[in-house]
Amino acid sequence: MTGKVALITGSAKGLGKRTALTLAEQGCHIALNYVHSESEAYALQSEIEGMGVRCIAVRADISRIEEIEALAEQVDRRLGSIDILVNNAGPFIRERRLFADYSRQDIMAMIDGNLVGTMLLDHLVLQGMRDKRWGRIIHFGFGHASESRAWPHRAVYAAAKTGLVSFTKTLAVEEAPYGITVNMVCPGDIRGRNKEISIREARGLPDQETPLGRPGSGEDIARVISFLCHPDSDFITGNIMDISGGLDPIRPWIKPI
């Protein structure tokens, strides 16, 4: 993938950071995106540039159309047209809350940040990918999102992501003739520092909630994204991939006695 231009939203830290580092290792030029984590973004930019590829860091809120447009324009002008788009950014309210207790502002922020913004950013990069007859688009979901089950206390987030499931499958079919693949990765409940650690590090940590017995890591997610972005993965499109160690975020796992 040497020389490909990859934009990873929400990539100053966490899963986005691990993905950016992994794609840089594969020779991609990297466009980082952040909203609040400016110092982390520029530190990561320096680290990636030290790997021998080009890297920029651009502030943009994915829930705001004017900022999405500015982000895409900056990447195109400074690195070239986008070959790989990883839509990692998206707000999540960890506090459990009934739908009736959400404010209108919270509802719109969750929908715009997790669904509308992703769709609009995809729309902005499609023509460039079509012109080259090559492109990779990755969306983020949650475990079992493709089943569209009820998820009490997560109504807005779940609605946005399950809507994105349908969009992923539709866009994959429409863009396949242009050499563009579209897939969704659905991480397990990966929290805090674990979003940036390696699989080897994660194997040394216990996790009673995940059937595999260890927590997920940033490497678990990044290596799947890297695989999906490879030129020889062109026959894999429209897939919703759970990367969760068997964890179901909606229904608790009953550990055998």
According to DSSP, residue 79 is labeled T
Distance of CA 211 to the CA centre of its chain: 24
pLDDT band at 254 (very low <50, low <70, confident <90, very high): low
pLDDT of residue 255: 67
CATH number of 5-243: 3.40.50.720
Is the pLDDT at 252 greater than 80? The verdict is no
Residue keyed to tokens 């930019």: 45
From the list 83, 239, 102, the residue with the least C-alpha distance to 165 is 239
Average pLDDT, the chain: 94
85: CB partners within 8 A, 6+ apart = 6, 7, 121, 122, 125, 135, 136, 137, 138
pLDDT band at 81 (very low <50, low <70, confident <90, very high): very high
pLDDT of residue 91: 87
Distance CA 54, CA 5 (A): 9
Q: Residue 25 CB: number of other CB atoms within 10 A? A: 14
pLDDT of residue 256: 65
What's the Rg (C-alpha) of the chain? 18
Summarised one tens digit per residue, pLDDT across range 22-72 is 999 999 999 999 999 999 999 999 999 999 999 999 999 999 999 999 999
Give the dihedral of Cα atoms 154, 220, 87, 99; nearest 10 deg. 0
Is the pLDDT at 226 greater than 80? The verdict is yes
From the list 1, 162, 19, 191, the residue with the least C-alpha distance to 88 is 19
pLDDT band at 208 (very low <50, low <70, confident <90, very high): confident
Distance CA 175, CA 177 (A): 6
Q: Which residue ranges make up each domain of the chain?
A: 5-243
Strand partners, 31: 7, 56
Is the pLDDT at 104 greater than 80? The verdict is yes
pLDDT of residue 203: 94
From the list 164, 209, 213, 153, the residue with the least C-alpha distance to 186 is 164
Name the packing angle between helices 38-49 and 14-25 (round to 10°). Answer: 10
Of the ranges 184-188, 208-212, 249-253, the best mean pLDDT one = 184-188
Summarised one tens digit per residue, pLDDT across range 141-152 is 999 999 988 889
Is the pLDDT at 156 greater than 60? The verdict is yes
Distance CA 69, CA 77 (A): 12
